[in-house]
């Protein structure tokens, strides 16, 4: 039993360090087993058309529908206004900013730490869930808001500084060989993507031969 347990630990550790770092540099403990990155399923960044909750008027109605779908909990739209006598057991949201047609929130259980970044987008006179990214302790070390990405715009690498760079891989998957490592804070521009694999969105970077995980990229004005 003990030897089998250590074998499992070894496999998990190998996966954990694959997305970020490498090449002899200090490895990260960023998660690799993220939920599927689609609007319907707790998504992550920059997906295709909406498949999840949709609402007119108040963007919090979309988040409420998502919370009820994912966690079977009620939702309070403002964590700072929650009341222990009536809101215990609910989830709540905290508005963090907007960018174009998008609004960003952190969402989690009332009187506790947030568990997700949630991005909603105004589209065709209604609000749709654009992304919902698990906010693990490791993810919390990555600065800035994880807005949906796009090709042809300036971005910066945001690994959180540990490891000090983000891997460029031959193909859009963790199993692909790391051929380069872009330093934290470096400016990049995307030329193609996203391609989904290993529950990450992968993008091709201008001037580099390979793919990077979009989770570690930010718009320059949203990287703090």
Is residue 194 in a domain?
A: yes
Q: Where are the beta strands (DSSP E) in 11-84?
A: 54-55, 75-76
Taking only the tens place, the pLDDT of each residue in 102-141 is 999 999 999 999 999 999 999 888 999 999 999 877 677 8
Share the mean pLDDT of the chain.
79
H or E segment to which residue 204 belongs:
strand 200-205
Q: What's the confidence (pLDDT) of residue 223? A: 62
Beta carbons of 66 and 129 less than 8 angstroms apart: yes
Give residue 92's domain range. 19-25+34-222
Q: Examine residue 97 and state whether it is found in any structural domain, yes or no.
A: yes
3-state class of 123 per DSSP?
strand
The count of structural domains within the chain is 1
Q: Establish if 3 belongs to a structural domain.
A: no
Q: Is residue 171 assigned to a domain?
A: yes
Q: What is the pLDDT of residues 68-109, one digit of tens each?
A: 999 999 999 999 999 999 999 999 999 999 999 999 999 999
Q: Is residue 8 part of a domain?
A: no
103 part of a folded domain: yes
Q: Which of 10, 31, 32, 24 is nearest to 140 (CA)?
A: 31
Whether residue 1 lies inside any domain: the answer is no
The answer to whether residues 11 and 174 touch, using CB atoms and an 8 Å cutoff, is no
pTM assigned to the model = 0.74
Query: Is residue 14 assigned to a domain?
Result: no
């Amino acid at each position: 039993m003990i030897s089998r347990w250590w074998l499992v630990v070894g496999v998990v550790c190998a996966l954990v360090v694959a997305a970020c770092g490498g090449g002899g540099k200090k490895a990260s403990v960023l998660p690799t087993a993220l939920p599927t990155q689609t609007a319907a399923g707790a998504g992550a960044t920059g997906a295709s058309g909406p498949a999840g909750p949709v609402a007119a008027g108040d963007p919090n109605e979309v988040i409420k529908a998502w919370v009820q779908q994912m966690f079977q909990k009620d939702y309070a739209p403002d964590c700072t206004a929650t009341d222990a006598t009536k809101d215990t057991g609910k989830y709540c949201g905290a508005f963090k900013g907007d960018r174009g047609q998008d609004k960003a929130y952190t969402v989690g259980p009332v009187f506790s730490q947030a568990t997700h970044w949630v991005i909603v987008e105004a589209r065709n006179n209604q609000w749709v869930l654009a992304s919902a990214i698990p906010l693990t302790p490791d993810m919390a070390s990555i600065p800035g808001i994880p807005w949906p990405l796009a090709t042809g715009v300036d971005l910066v690498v945001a690994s959180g500084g540990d490891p000090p760079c983000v891997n460029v891989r031959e193909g859009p998957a963790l199993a692909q060989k790391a051929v380069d490592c872009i330093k934290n804070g470096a400016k990049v521009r995307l030329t193609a993507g996203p391609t989904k694999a290993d529950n990450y969105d992968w993008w091709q970077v201008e001037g580099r031969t390979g793919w990077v995980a979009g989770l570690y990229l930010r718009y320059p004005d949203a990287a703090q």
